[in-house]
Structures are given as C-alpha cells and as structure tokens.
C-alpha cells in the first residue's frame, strides 16, 4: 500500500469506506457524501486514484466496481507514523519526543503492546 498523505477529499472517502462492513460502489460512497455536493464523477475519480495508489482494493461486481480499504484505519495511520520516522535522521530522538507527548493511557497502551511483542 502506498501510504502517501491523503488529501481532504480522499480522507473523506476513506472514512466512508472504513465505516462500512462491506465493500461499496461509487454510488454508495457518493450518497454518503451527499452533503458535500460532489459530482458522481468526482467520487469515481477519487476512488480510481485511491485504487491506483493501493489505498483501496476494487473488484468488479457486474458493471460496477466494489471498493474496500486495503488496510484498516489503524494500519494506515501506523504506516504513516513509520514513514514519518523514516524522514528523521535520528529515530531515537523522534521516538522520545513522541513518547513524551502521549497521555498516560496512551503510554500504558504502548507499554502493553511492547510487552506483547516481546513474548516468545
């Protein structure tokens, strides 16, 4: 999956897909975004671009395409965080700064995840 930063409209489309349990047609996504006043073709173009980026998967269903996220929201955000770490020349310092900025509950979640990762 290409984890390139998503634009505002791409994020809105992804929020629709992440909220659904099943893959969606362009029409279904367009209907979910009706309050934005977007053209159907705009939503179709955004979904096509997201598929080209590898952020969504698509498959044919009759004459329509069905779109689904290639990864969960959490997996996507984790990949963004890893990419951000790659941009720094000092990963350790970046991680320390990040750790200092999290809440106690978030720190506990990180500790728990690290402990689980260390288990054989």
pTM greater than the 0.85 cutoff: no
E strands present in 18-116? 56-61, 64-69
What's the pLDDT tens digit per position in 7-46?
A: 999 999 999 999 999 999 999 999 999 999 999 999 999 9
Residues 45 and 83 in one domain: no
Which pLDDT belongs to residue 5?
A: 75
Residues 98 and 61 in one domain: no
Q: Among the three residues 69, 92, 107, which one is the final residue of a domain in this structure?
A: 69
Residues 80 and 65 in one domain: no
* Residue 97, burial from CB neighbour count under 10 angstroms (0-12, 13-18, 19+): exposed
Q: Among the three residues 69, 90, 108, which one is the final residue of a domain in this structure?
A: 69
Provide the CA 92 distance to its chain's centre, in angstroms: 25
Compute the distance between CA of residue 31 and CA of residue 5 in angstroms, rounded to an integer.
25
Q: Is residue 79 part of a domain?
A: yes
Confidence of residue 61 (pLDDT cuts 50, 70, 90): very high
Which pLDDT belongs to residue 119?
A: 56
What's the pLDDT tens digit per position in 76-108?
A: 888 888 888 888 888 899 888 988 999 999 989
CATH number at residue 25: 1.10.10.10
């Amino acid at each position: 999956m290409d984890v390139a930063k998503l634009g505002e409209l791409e994020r809105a489309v992804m929020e629709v897909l992440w909220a659904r349990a099943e893959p969606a047609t362009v029409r279904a996504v367009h209907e979910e975004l009706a309050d934005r006043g977007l053209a159907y073709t705009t939503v179709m173009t955004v979904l096509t671009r997201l598929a080209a980026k590898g952020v969504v998967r698509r498959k044919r269903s009759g004459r329509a395409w069905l779109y689904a996220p290639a990864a969960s929201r959490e997996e996507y955000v984790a990949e963004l965080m890893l990419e951000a770490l790659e941009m720094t020349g000092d990963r350790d310092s970046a991680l320390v700064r990040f750790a200092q900025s999290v809440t106690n509950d978030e720190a506990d979640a990180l500790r728990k995840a690290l402990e689980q990762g260390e288990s054989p």
